[in-house]
């Protein structure tokens, strides 16, 4: 209720602060009997890890995950899985004086007004570091969905600041620090980031994330629509200011005579809906796009006030990502996987007995 | 869990189908002692009501609300408030043959795959008619927030199809059928809609909705961020494909040196954040924008398949809104109010004892 | 959250007051495709109905249920089922002066302190009349469980005041107004009640309720144990002061060497556990016993205070059950069915893939 | 949803197994600004700790608690509090062969049928060891309730096997290993336990637990009644088979003319209701009694079956409490505190504005 638990049936409870002794999560509701060990989780954590290129924060965290419960002799038992990640490189000294002022664009002011107290070390609870346990939990969901339904999740950067990144091939994504699906643009992205860093500035990014091999029928009508829960999950990622499903805002200027995806005997003719109709998955790819604002922690001085309301100036010299969007791709993948996982369990709870007519539709194709 | 309940502490459970005997909702958790009668609710329902201009569906529903419980001698008692709206103009005959095919862009196919059965009359549960009980519940939330905190909600259409609608004055909104905050553009909007209707086509729209007089400190960090819950609420409205908070997708191309709203002794210098930092309200206006797709039910023939998978064609001749965005403004206002209401109660549950330092900040001004 | 919704996946939201226009409930999460009409529900409602013998309240309510949603052409659609029961015999005049004082043993005082306002007509929300919608919802759960798993629910009165009622045969239960499983004792029970009524007094009762044909594996370990949720459901019934599972309080004086039910190749040797081990169903009968306190509304004068704290006396002359336990049997059955239903759905959400070893145990027999 | 989270607003998520690396919990929703450190928690943990007398299990666990998050410079911050307790004395070798058979009275059979896999080491997740994190979480709730409302919790053993333990003075409780409120009976209890241990047998117990200094108005009508949630909490404790509130089962034979607690100008005349009317606290002491079954793990051989269904015999030679009730008192206190804490927050969420009439009732006295 205080916002640290995600999901209804595959529930992930997140805890920790950026510079406390540890961060982690408890997954309750994981189906039993799935093979699981730390290596299944570490790969995704490593993709999100800081310090892997000069374009992200230089904080040096191994982000090594430890499974404290819920697994016996290599199999999930159906009981809560606690995943623990120790913080090893906190450097609290960078943040000591921040208790008296409020960094523009940060949660400092709102935490203070909400709680009366706050942990200023590295942003405390509001740090993007708290996405690490979600990536870990997402890895568990991804494994189950892949093995059970063949569902896979993939994301990429589609814009860095004002540079659009045309999609060329998913094969490129793993081979550059930006998760860019385009090899030829990488040099330009690097130059862009180097210039920003030199200027003590930051920029935004756009990330696209997809699920393919989707089961049909996931999502609850009315409020817990699949796309509504996706919007909730994505807008909850630090620094996200916009979410689109399928065609997104482009639908405003579209016409009904061409927009609604037609159905053909061999599947849907298009995927402007982004894989969801009436809040329920069609079996096509889920298509989601998010906007990430520029990092607020920059070297450039900005105007603020202190706790007495007097004018002051803030410069942030700690270790920060000059574009938080760069490491957002594995986070967005994980959050999408957690939404799909939760709805897969919810669906079979209520509709486990639904038997379709003998002549079922062909598998809907994703034409997005 | 099956998606018909909205909110955690101010919980609204919605029921009904477009052509069943009645629709309605149950509000559980309303604070006691608030004056409430049907007239407090009817006004917002009337703004959403069908049949009020030639540009919306001609279905003739009075949408008269009846309070069945939770109010005694004109005061809320703290027990569940059941609001009932009888359906009076169902015309089931329009929809009889739809059980065998799937309208493109509609939930027909997904409901069938999910449940094995479906109510085809007027879209059944997937009809936008089910937003009426939410507008009714929203009216209750709005009354409490206005009386307790001075919070008010206002929305308008900011684009109709490819026509951008510049904001002129909120005073115009109530005086045209489009909720346009601009008097001079109304004639152009009417011509646009007349042409669409003649062509048997439909278009999308963009709606902006705001809350002002916001309490500071609402929203839970990590998952139930205020903006995450807003995104969930908005994406759950029928036909919505995108949600933006504050600057939205424009943040991608922005720079950190100018994007983060500076704090000055007399308040925030700007409101690109849209009234939320770290998922918690700043006290500035909430600023939300949504994209609504073109109505899928159009006279123009479209390709589809029948339940045996064979190719067919669908034309829809019932009574439909040629732009569902036209009636979406009061719906978006209501959903935003429900989110804020829920978080107002959640906040005081945990933080009811927080006493700020004597020298509190000045009331943050909204400069958006 | 304000306590009007029961269950997690088969969720029943209850609304209404004793003397308002209507009471009812919304069931969200019912599996689709089950045949359902009002007659399936009315039978259980009739068993709970007032006015059916001289030993219960003479309030004359038909308790006719109307299905407002969630059923199409005789089948559940998976969407919310709203059940409405109009109040027809309210007689508010009996309760007018009760706003200024507090009936001993009643919720008058606590409602007033909690909410500051209260509906005094017939006990308002605290009336046992609000169990009627639960009996209706329970009928839906019972139908699904019977058809899907062969699970059936049966309850009886095992003590009326200080008269123990030995179990003879379930066949007797339907043939006397007390739900007594013993024909020869009925005359004595009637004499007991007649004497109480003459004396203007009331008495307590003990009810036993069982589920047989139970699936194995229902219930969540740790907190949502099947027996914990049963205790919650039973203690929530008006006037219940104690709950036992299986041997109940008799276990205190028992020895481990005889208490734990042994397992034999043809099933459990006994059922002291009441069908639950570690919070999870064994497949044996669920065995539950509850204690119901004497009706607090009696003609005999009792001391109380008024809202100014001054001493006063209260006599209650309205229509009341001289033993609320008499009509409690169908209520306890319904609540037990709702708990089992919810856990049946919860179980298959998480554990739908569990395949037991080829050599499964024989069906455990109930020897209780 | 899988049963590892307790509470709605003060939410405790429990994880771990008896012989895994660690057990613990995450508390979400704790009010901010409360002084908290490990010492505030350790005291209650020590009261529950194994190995403290010859009458309880000889497992040697320090049960040292570590606060991993949610506290900054000695104050709660309002963010999740993770409490970790390392397991140090696991001795898995005692339990190796238990995977193939089912101990009578244990959860072995039901876990296997539910999940298909299970962790047999020390009972795995079904071990009473998992109550330790609840005692830790309860200590946090107790501190807040004591400081905010003056509410305190106290429990004692009221029967050990067939020996009733008359209440003499709460002062005795801390000075014997049984939590007996009676000094003269301790020698008899010790002799009883010594004989049982010699016989390889076990016995049950009855525990009473009370809250005094209760706020008025806690509890939600209908389902989340305060007493219903107490019943849920208590029945969820390992080995509990019965729960009573106030007079409990004695109410069956009582008469209405004497049972309902009268109200006098200086408070309630009695407390047969146990501090709850209509599910809402009266301000009197909460009075709760629970029945705990005899330990199932005993040296005496008992009949069972193996996983192939063949007859076998089980003797349990590990380290076990010969009466699990002996250490249950601090557990029951903690669970009661968690229920009251949750409802304290829930109450002010909805009813924070309720202002009673000027002439309020005198503080209700507890006469139980």
Per-residue pLDDT of A234-289, as tens digits, reads 999 999 999 999 999 999 999 999 999 999 998 999 999 999 999 999 999 999 99
CA separation (Å) from B148 to B256, B366, C118, D210?
36, 20, 21, 37
pLDDT digits 0-9 by tens, C124-163: 999 999 999 999 999 999 999 999 999 999 999 999 999 9
Judge residue A236's burial from the number of C-beta atoms within 10 Å of its C-beta, 0-12 exposed, 13-18 middle, 19 or more buried: buried
**pLDDT for the residue A308:** 86
D3 at the A interface (CB within 8 A)?
yes
**Integer angstrom CA distances of residue A176 from A47, A172, A191, B16, C130:** 11, 7, 13, 51, 63
Owner of token pair 């079996």: A283
Identify all chain A residues contacting D130, using CB atoms and an 8 Å cutoff. none
Mean pLDDT across the stretch D87-116?
Answer: 83
In this prediction, residues D221-235 reach a mean pLDDT of 97
Q: Which residues contact A86 (CB under 8 A, 6 or more apart)?
A: A21, A22, A64, A66
* Residue in the block written with tokens 């909705």: B209
Chain B residues closer than 8 Å to A217 by CB:
110, 113-114
Give the nearest chain C residue to A8 (CA atoms): C8
| DSSP-derived secondary structure letter, B318 | S
- What's the gap in Å between the CA of A68 and the closest CA on chain D? 6
pLDDT of residue D96 exceeding 70 = no
Interface touch D353/B148, C-beta < 8 Å: yes
Taking 90 as the threshold, does the pLDDT of residue D215 lie above it?
yes
d(CA D173, CA D195): 23
Report how far residue D236's alpha carbon sits from residue D335's, in angstroms, rounded to the nearest whole number: 9
Q: Which two tokens stand for residue C134?
A: 């639960």
Cβ–Cβ < 8 Å for A224, B214: no
Of residues B126, B130, B278, nearest to A106 (C-beta): B278
DSSP D71-103: EETTEE-SS-EEEEEE-----GGGGGGGGGB--
- pLDDT of B248 reads 98
The DSSP code for C147 is H
B2 touches chain C (CB under 8 A): yes
* A166 in contact with C, Cβ within 8 Å: no
Residue B61 confidence (pLDDT): 84
Q: Which of A188, A311, A124, A158 is nearest to A248 (CA)?
A: A158
Q: Is D346 on the interface with A (CB under 8 A)?
A: no
Q: 10 Å Cβ neighbour count for A208?
A: 21
Secondary structure (3-state) at A334: helix
Q: Is the CB of A32 less than 8 angstroms away from the CB of D115?
A: yes
Percentage of residues of chain D with pLDDT beyond 90: 82
Range with lowest mean pLDDT among B122-136, B173-187, B354-368: B354-368
CB of C256 closer than 8 Å to CB of D300 = yes
User: Residue-wise over D333-365: b if at least 16 C-beta within 10 A, else e?
Assistant: bbbbbbbbbbbbbbbbbbbeebeeeeeebeebe
Strands A22-28, A65-67: pairing is unpaired
Chain B: give the shortest CA distance to residue C36, in Å: 14
Residue D261: both structure tokens together: 């607690």
DSSP secondary structure letter of residue A253: G
Confidence band for A57, pLDDT divided at 50, 70 and 90? confident
Task: Test D114 with C234 for CB contact under 8 angstroms.
Answer: no
Residue C92: strand, helix, or coil: helix
**What are the tokens at D312?**
């076998």
pLDDT tens for C27-59 read 999 999 999 999 999 999 999 988 788 888 888
CA-to-CA separations, D281 to C115, C243, D67, D343, D349, in angstroms, rounded: 13, 19, 32, 10, 16
Average pLDDT in chain D = 92
Whether C79 contacts chain A with CB within 8 A: yes
Q: Does A23 touch chain D (CB under 8 A)?
A: yes
pLDDT band at B95 (very low <50, low <70, confident <90, very high): low
Question: Is-contact D288 D245, C-beta < 8 A?
Answer: yes
Closest-CA distance of chain D to residue B299, Å: 46
Backbone angles phi, psi at A139, to 5 degrees: -65, -35
User: Within B270-319, where are the H helices?
Assistant: none
Q: What is the pLDDT of residues A5-26, one digit of tens each?
A: 999 999 999 999 999 999 999 9
Residue of A nearest to B205 (CA): A252
Q: Which of D69, C351, B332 is nearest to A84 (CA)?
A: D69
Q: In chain C, which stretches have pLDDT less than 50?
A: 358, 364-368
Tokens representing A246?
Answer: 């399928």
Answer whether B111's CB lies under 8 Å from B307's CB.
no
- For chain B, the residue count is 368
Chains touching D, CB cut-off 8 Å, 3+ pairs: A, B, C
Tally Cβ neighbours within 10 Å of residue A174. Answer: 9
Q: What pLDDT is attached to residue A303?
A: 95
Residue in C252, C248, C245 with CA at minimum distance from that of residue D158: C252
Hey, which residues 145-164 in chain D have their CB within 8 Å of chain A? none
Task: Tell me what percent of chain A is helix, strand and coil, each rounded to the nearest 5.
Answer: 35, 20, 45
The values of phi and psi at residue A265, to 5°, are -55, -25
Contact A356, B116 (CB under 8 A): yes
Which residue of chain B has the CA closest to A226? B236
Contacts of residue C223, Cβ cutoff 8 Å, sequence gap at least 6:
D3, D4, D5, D6, D14, D232, D236
Burial of D147: CB neighbours in 10 Å, binned 0-12, 13-18, 19+ = exposed
What are phi and psi for residue C59, nearest 5 degrees? -55, 135
| Pair of tokens at residue C357 | 């070893």
Contact D24 A82 (CB under 8 A): yes
What is the ipTM metric for this complex? 0.96
A-chain CB neighbours of D38 within 8 Å are none
C244 at the D interface (CB within 8 A)?
yes
Residue D37, burial from CB neighbour count under 10 angstroms (0-12, 13-18, 19+): exposed
| CB C11 within 8 Å of CB C27 | yes
| CB < 8 Å to B70, chain C | 15, 17
User: If we measure between CA atoms, which residue out of D336, D345, D365, D333 comes closest to residue D217?
Assistant: D345
DSSP C270-281: --TT-SEETTEE
A358 touches chain C (CB under 8 A): no
Nearest C-alpha in D relative to C351: D115
Which chain D residue has the Cα nearest residue A76? D117
Return the structure tokens found at A46.
């490593």
Instruction: Tell me if A222 and B269 make a contact (CB, 8 A cut-off).
Output: no
User: Cβ contacts (< 8 Å) between D351 and chain B: which residues?
Assistant: 31-32, 78
CA distances from C43 to C191, C233, D345 (A): 28, 22, 40
Task: Report, as an integer, the average pLDDT of B209-232.
Answer: 97
* Token couple for B20: 């069943």
Q: What is the pLDDT of residues A160-219, one digit of tens each?
A: 999 999 999 999 999 999 999 999 999 999 999 999 999 999 999 999 999 999 999 999
pLDDT class of B211 with cuts at 50, 70, 90: very high
Chain A with chain B: Cβ pairs closer than 8 A: 410
* pLDDT classification of B89: cutoffs 50, 70, 90: confident
Report whether pLDDT(B343) > 80.
Answer: yes
> CB distance from B116 to chain C under 8 Å?
yes
Q: Residue A15: its chain D contacts at CB < 8 A?
A: 26, 28, 68-70, 79-82
Say if residues C101 and C312 touch (Cβ distance below 8 Å): yes
Estimate to the nearest angstrom the gap between the alpha carbon of A217 and the chain centroid.
23
Q: Is A198 exposed, middle or buried (0-12, 13-18, 19+ CB in 10 A)?
A: exposed
pLDDT tier, D329 (very low <50, low <70, confident <90, very high otherwise): very high
Partner C, chain D 260-319, Cβ-Cβ below 8 Å: 260-265, 269, 273-274, 276-283, 291-298, 300, 302-305, 307-311
pLDDT score recorded for residue C322: 87
């Amino acid at each position: 209720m205080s916002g640290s638990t995600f999901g209804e049936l595959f529930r992930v409870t997140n805890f920790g602060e950026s510079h406390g002794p540890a961060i982690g999560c408890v997954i309750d509701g994981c189906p039993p009997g799935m093979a699981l060990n730390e290596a299944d989780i570490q790969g995704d954590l490593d993709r999100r890890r800081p310090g892997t290129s000069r374009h992200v924060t230089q904080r040096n965290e191994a982000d090594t995950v430890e499974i404290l419960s819920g697994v016996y002799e290599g199999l999930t038992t159906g009981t809560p899985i606690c995943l623990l990640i120790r913080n090893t490189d906190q450097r609290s000294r960078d943040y000591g004086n921040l208790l008296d002022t409020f960094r523009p664009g940060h949660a400092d002011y709102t935490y203070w007004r909400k709680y009366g107290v706050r942990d200023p070390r590295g942003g405390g609870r509001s740090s993007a570091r708290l996405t690490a346990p979600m990536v870990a939990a997402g890895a568990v969901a991804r494994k189950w969905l892949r093995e059970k339904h063949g569902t896979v999740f993939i994301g990429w950067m589609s814009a860095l600041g004002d540079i659009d990144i045309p999609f060329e091939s998913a094969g490129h994504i793993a081979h550059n620090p930006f998760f860019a699906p385009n090899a030829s643009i990488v040099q330009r992205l690097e130059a862009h980031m180097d210039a920003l860093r030199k200027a003590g500035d930051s920029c935004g990014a756009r990330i696209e994330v997809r699920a393919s091999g989707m089961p049909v029928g996931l999502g609850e009508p009315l409020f817990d629509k699949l796309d509504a829960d996706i919007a909730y999950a994505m807008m909850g990622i630090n620094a996200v200011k916009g979410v689109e499903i399928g065609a997104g805002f482009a639908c405003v200027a579209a016409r009904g005579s061409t927009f609604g995806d037609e159905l053909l005997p061999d599947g849907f003719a298009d995927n402007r809906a982004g894989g969801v109709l009436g809040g329920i998955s069609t079996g096509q790819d889920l298509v989601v796009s998010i906007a990430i604002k520029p990092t607020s922690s920059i070297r450039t001085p900005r105007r603020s006030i202190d706790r007495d309301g007097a004018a002051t100036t803030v410069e942030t010299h700690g270790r920060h990502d000059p574009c938080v969007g760069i490491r957002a791709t594995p986070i967005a993948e994980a959050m999408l996987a957690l939404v799909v996982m939760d709805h897969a369990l919810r669906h079979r709870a209520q509709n486990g007995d639904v038997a379709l007519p003998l002549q079922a539709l062909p598998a809907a194709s994703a034409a997005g």
